[in-house]
Amino acid sequence: MSTTTATPPYELLGAHDLRVDLGGTTILQDVSLSIGPGERVAIVGPNGAGKTTLMRALSGAVPATSGEVILCTEPIQNLSRETIARSIAVVGSDITLPFATRVDELVALGRIPHGRGPAGPSDHDRERANAAIERVGATHLQHRDVRTLSAGERQLAAIALGLAQETPILALDEPTAHLDLRHRMEIADLLTSLAGDETIMKTKRTIVAIFHELDIVRDGFSRVILVSNGTIAADGTPSEVLTAERISAAWGIPLERAARL
């Protein structure tokens, strides 16, 4: 941890001396970070560095072995699963469905943490789901079967699913994986614009996303966390973090080639 950004007004999402062991192997250790409301944070790092595990730990999907995770100023272990789901939406890198499901039906599943009882999505839920679909510009896909969508369209549906959860934090695991150049740019622009939205907590939406494309990170994110070997190697602005030396060390590539990335 060499560089830090200005201290946020309060801790929306944080980790303190976090360590995560899975199946007897230490995946993450000595992880400390603090993310405030309205921040746009990219997580980068080589395959197997622990980026996804970090996101899973920050969203309570895996327990901390030691240290703690803070969500909306509370230690995450004190929060119920439903409260967590109303605070942080996690958009996975791929959606596969066992049955024919329309995009609006899929996105309505994002309302599950706000629902009660056995009944299906209410009119209000459908309305919020359709608003989320509209927000990502996918209204024309509303009635399509999710399984017939292209990779780019499916990613839009996945982001709408996360938006329908109406959480102050939107976390995305490789939202640009498998996408071509144009769709990558569209998703990156969408994330930038989503970060400006006001959420139900009357703050700007916080976005945390894992990326492999450093150009997207440099263009659209004010803060980058570099994860390498299960710990945070650097945390700061793109120009501070994504230096040739750090890229070379983290990804194990020659310095002269790293300098061109």
Report the interface residues with other proteins, using CB under 8 A.
56, 59-61, 80-86, 88-90, 92, 95-102, 105, 108-110, 112-113, 115, 117-121, 145, 147, 165
Neighbours of 221 (CB within 10 A): 25
Nearer to other proteins, 110 or 236 (CB): 110
CB 57 within 8 A of CB 69: yes
Closer residue to other proteins, CB minimum distance, 109 or 201: 109
Q: Which residues contact 78 (CB under 8 A, 6 or more apart)?
A: none
What is the closest distance, in whole angstroms, from the C-beta atom of residue 145 to other proteins in the complex?
7
Residue with tokens 């309505």: 108
| Closest distance of CB 62 from other proteins, Å | 10
What whole-number distance in Å separates Cα of residue 160 and Cα of residue 110? 8
Q: Of the two residues 89 and 179, which places its CB atom closer to other proteins in the complex?
A: 89
Min separation Cβ 246 and other proteins, Å? 30
To which H or E segment does residue 224 belong? strand 223-228
CB of 229 to other proteins, least distance (A): 24
Nearer to other proteins, 122 or 139 (CB): 122
And the tokens for 146? 């999710």
